[in-house]
A and B are shown apart, each in its own frame.
Chain A
Amino acid sequence: MMAALLRLTSVFTALLVFALPVWAHKASDSFIYVDQTKSQIRIDLALRDLALVLPLDSNGDGQLTGAEVRTGREAITRLVDQGVTLSNTSGICQLTGRQWGLSRHSDGPYAAGLYQVACPDSLAPESLKYSLLFEQDPLHRALVSVTDSQGERLSVLAPDDQTLTLINSATTLGNSLKLFGTFLSEGIIHLLIGLDHILFLLVLMLPATLPLKTRRSGKHSGRGHDLKPRLLELVGVVTAFTVAHSFTLALAALEIVTLPIAWVETVIALSIAVAALNVFWPILGRKTWKLAFGFGLIHGFGFASVLGNLTSGVSQTVVALAGFNLGVELGQLVLLVVLFPLLYLCGRFRIYERAAVPAMLLMAGALSLYWVAERATAI
């Protein structure tokens, strides 16, 4: 093979060659990991490559020690600043150091830095430009891994291809849709599983399942003729609850207002008891929608606590929030569509309004008071 030429040329050059340590020999690569879900970038540069462009070997003994690399940290950071740029339409994104140290790849030690990425518009960076070391070594490459909600993909940057698009509109839309779908179903599931929200809704719904006549004694209205006003009442209650909890869910999810979750959970439990009490003794008035609105505000913070768990690490909080909220509303709607006709039919029987409703209210009240006690002691 090519050995032939070099055997011939070695007539002209006799070189003494020293064996290096056991690190593999490979072409020069930098490793860059962009994590869009955490808004972070990690940059690993081979010490051997860095020594080409920075005077790291300060004592000139041909060896790099830990101390020399530590001393070179500032210069390395400056080099990264010059040679690695993340940006989007709003401008160049700021890199803030999170962690710095040594790492290794198959061919030896690397200087590694982990940075938090903040773009001017707080959205994700859309492109990565890399220009280090190409001048010294045209065979140098930057091996780039990009992780977003769709997973990880690998790319390579080269002297004639120094810019990588981190986002393409198709995947962005796809990502958003997928994210939206995931959170929509989480919202539905959360509402249907969260017993306290269901109980609160049930308690709010119960009055509307009773014929109006029993609530306004003296006036007689024929059974079956008051469906429309009762439905309207129900819609009013549910809408008030929805508007209120959507509002506080957004406030909490966007971290505009934060409340201690233990207190929130206690008040939610209490709200069920109060609502149940209010059916018998309307201390807070006959207008159930006002009650629904007031306590809805607190329930929103409750939803947010679960959403917060899910969205840690999700960059598109707004999409997630919208999906989750819609999911909660859908779950609520499903519940009403199933329960209301059932309870409405039950309302034709005297035993329902005489015994079943008070029993349900009592049970809901008792359970919620138990929760209040449990949660309050935990605070």
Chain B
Amino acid sequence: MTRTTNRHTTTCFESCGLRRQSDSDPWLTALNPALRRRAFSIVALVTALTLETALAAPAAIETEFDDQEVLISLPSEAIAPDTLPETAPALAERAQKYLVQARSQGDPRYLGYAQALFERWPENRMTDRLRILRATLNQSLHRFEPAREELTAVINTPNINQRLSSQARLTLANLELVQGHYKSAHSHCQQLANEFPGLIAASCLAQVEARTGKAQTAYQSLLALTRRSPASDSTSQTWALGTLADIAAQLGRPEAEQHWRQVLTLAPDDLYTRAQLADWLLERGENEAVIKLTETYEQVDSLAVLRAIAMKRHNHTDAGRLSAKLEERFSEARWRGTLLHQRDLARYALDIEGEADTALTHALANWQDQREPLDTRLLLRAAQSAGNDSVQADVRSWLDQHDQRDARYPEVRS
């Protein structure tokens, strides 16, 4: 044997100076002292080089694990069928099921399963319903352009089923609203009101009007219409209530909370509404209410970030644990590169890590895609923290252009 192992050397590194002669390791005593010291510093150097780059050090492999322990519960859909549904309606059912799962659980794996279905389904067998679903999938994955094109094509299909056309138009109106294309959104909402009049079309219009300078009247008229409408149509009711909440929040009216809570009673797994309410409460300093509202939703990034902020502000004993979890999630997401949750990442950077520049980068990237009030507010706050006046000026000029005012934007409060 000509080698001394690193382990031996390390042992000596800790004790050599004290008892060089009595060192129990025969290999080391055989080396002269100068050599030994040299060897240690070299080993230390090699070790340092290895550690300094350990960016993505994984958790250790656990070789001993309990047979009885339940490691995970498999969602029933995880047993994904290898066989493609045979008919277009069956395929649509399955794809829609995946989309609803993804939405209600905040679980993007289902979006992947849905995409697998579409990739294997021949293009010439695509139906209008399938195309709407595919557009919805694309929108969920922030592929806004293909989604817009497909929805436009569906609307312009001759002799299309009225209900499908309305659905496509509503989806498109929403897409345009989210992206801040209010003119186009308004025109689709208007068309929807002609084709499919009711609370949903009215909500669609009210939302666009609220974001373009007429929040007060939009709120009043939608509220009146909602009260007149039959409560039996819970889908329309839920939708109108969600819209009312959003406009109330824009106006800074306390009714917002009440509307959101009504929505959550009707649809507890509406994660979007839950996040809106949590954000509202957080802004009001009601940290305990946020913690309660997000109790069983740590697995969903948007809610987990709001929860972590509330915990931090409340000096909650669990705050560090949740922040560490989020840090791990986001570092994995950064490695993956396709950042679906830039908004959450920006919020985390701004309010947990206090890294204004990182927050601004992600908030700005997010704002290129999505311009809902919470996106806009986040960007303004990040720009303010980072001391970036030009971004703030750009956003304000965009808001002025659309006459958009929102009680949640920072300049209103200051």
Can you give 27 contacting A-B residue pairs, CB < 8 Å?
A4-B170, A8-B167, A9-B96, A17-B104, A24-B299, A26-B108, A26-B332, A27-B338, A28-B109, A29-B336, A52-B79, A62-B74, A65-B71, A66-B65, A67-B67, A70-B65, A102-B61, A105-B59, A108-B71, A137-B109, A137-B112, A147-B53, A156-B335, A189-B38, A195-B34, A259-B2, A309-B39
A145 to B334, CA, bound (A): 13
Asked if residues A4 and B112 are in contact (CB atoms below 8 Å), the reply is: no
Chain A contributes a number of interface residues (CB within 8 A of B) equal to 102
B interface footprint on A58-91 (CB within 8 Å = 1, 0 otherwise):
0000111111011000000000000000000000
Residue pairs across A and B with CB atoms within 8 Å: the count is 307
Q: Does B224 contact A (CB under 8 A)?
A: no
Name the residue on A nearest B3 (C-beta). Answer: A308
Within 8 A of B (CB), among A246-298: 252, 258-262, 264-266
Task: Give chain B nearest CB distance to A247 CB in angstroms.
Answer: 15
A22 to B303, CA, bound (A): 13
Asked if residues B115 and A138 are in contact (CB atoms below 8 Å), the reply is: yes
Task: Give chain A nearest CB distance to B202 CB in angstroms.
Answer: 13
Name the residue on B nearest A310 (C-beta). Answer: B42
- Report chain A residues within 8 Å CB of B72: 21, 23, 47-48, 63-64, 108-109
Answer whether A8 and B235 are a contact pair too, CB < 8 Å, given A13-B97, A67-B68. yes
Task: Give chain A nearest CB distance to B376 CB in angstroms.
Answer: 14
Asked if residues B67 and A70 are in contact (CB atoms below 8 Å), the reply is: yes
Q: Does B412 contact A (CB under 8 A)?
A: no
A113 to B63, CA, bound (A): 10
Within 8 A of A (CB), among B256-303: 267, 269-270, 272-273, 296, 298-301
Asked if residues A24 and B298 are in contact (CB atoms below 8 Å), the reply is: yes
Q: Does B242 contact A (CB under 8 A)?
A: yes
A379 to B29, CA, bound (A): 9
Task: Give chain A nearest CB distance to B128 CB in angstroms.
Answer: 14
- Report chain A residues within 8 Å CB of B106: 25
Q: Does B205 contact A (CB under 8 A)?
A: no
Asked if residues A33 and B58 are in contact (CB atoms below 8 Å), the reply is: yes
Q: Does A141 contact B (CB under 8 A)?
A: yes
Task: Give chain A nearest CB distance to B104 CB in angstroms.
Answer: 5
Residue from A6, A63, A310 with most neighbouring chain B CB atoms (10 Å): A6
Name the residue on B nearest A28 (C-beta). Answer: B109
- Report chain B residues within 8 Å CB of A136: 80, 112-113, 116
Q: Does B248 contact A (CB under 8 A)?
A: no
Q: Does A340 contact B (CB under 8 A)?
A: no
- Report chain B residues within 8 Å CB of A99: 61, 63
Answer whether A5 and B170 are a contact pair too, CB < 8 Å, given A24-B299, A312-B6. yes
A interface footprint on B25-40 (CB within 8 Å = 1, 0 otherwise):
0110111101100110
Q: Report which of B29, B56, B115, B272 forms a contact with A33, defined as CB distance below 8 A.
A: B56
Q: Does A210 contact B (CB under 8 A)?
A: no
Asked if residues B71 and A69 are in contact (CB atoms below 8 Å), the reply is: yes
- Report chain B residues within 8 Å CB of A379: 26, 30
A143 to B54, CA, bound (A): 15
Answer whether A378 and B30 are a contact pair too, CB < 8 Å, given A2-B139, A10-B100. yes
- Report chain B residues within 8 Å CB of A194: 32, 34-35
Residue from B6, B66, B70, B72 with most neighbouring chain A CB atoms (10 Å): B72
A70 to B63, CA, bound (A): 10
Q: Does B140 contact A (CB under 8 A)?
A: yes
A9 to B102, CA, bound (A): 14
Asked if residues B71 and A25 are in contact (CB atoms below 8 Å), the reply is: no
- Report chain B residues within 8 Å CB of A113: 61
Name the residue on A nearest B75 (C-beta). Answer: A20
Asked if residues B332 and A106 are in contact (CB atoms below 8 Å), the reply is: yes
Within 8 A of B (CB), among A111-156: 112-114, 135-141, 143, 145, 147, 151-152, 154, 156
The stretch from A200-208, A299-307, A343-351 touching chain B is A299-307
Q: Report which of A66, A312, A378 forms a contact with B29, defined as CB distance below 8 A.
A: A378
- Other contacts beyond A29-B336, A101-B63: 5, CB < 8 A: A5-B171, A52-B79, A65-B68, A154-B335, A309-B6
- Report chain A residues within 8 Å CB of B115: 137-139
Asked if residues A8 and B170 are in contact (CB atoms below 8 Å), the reply is: yes
Answer whether A4 and B71 are a contact pair too, CB < 8 Å, given A26-B108, A140-B112, A194-B35. no
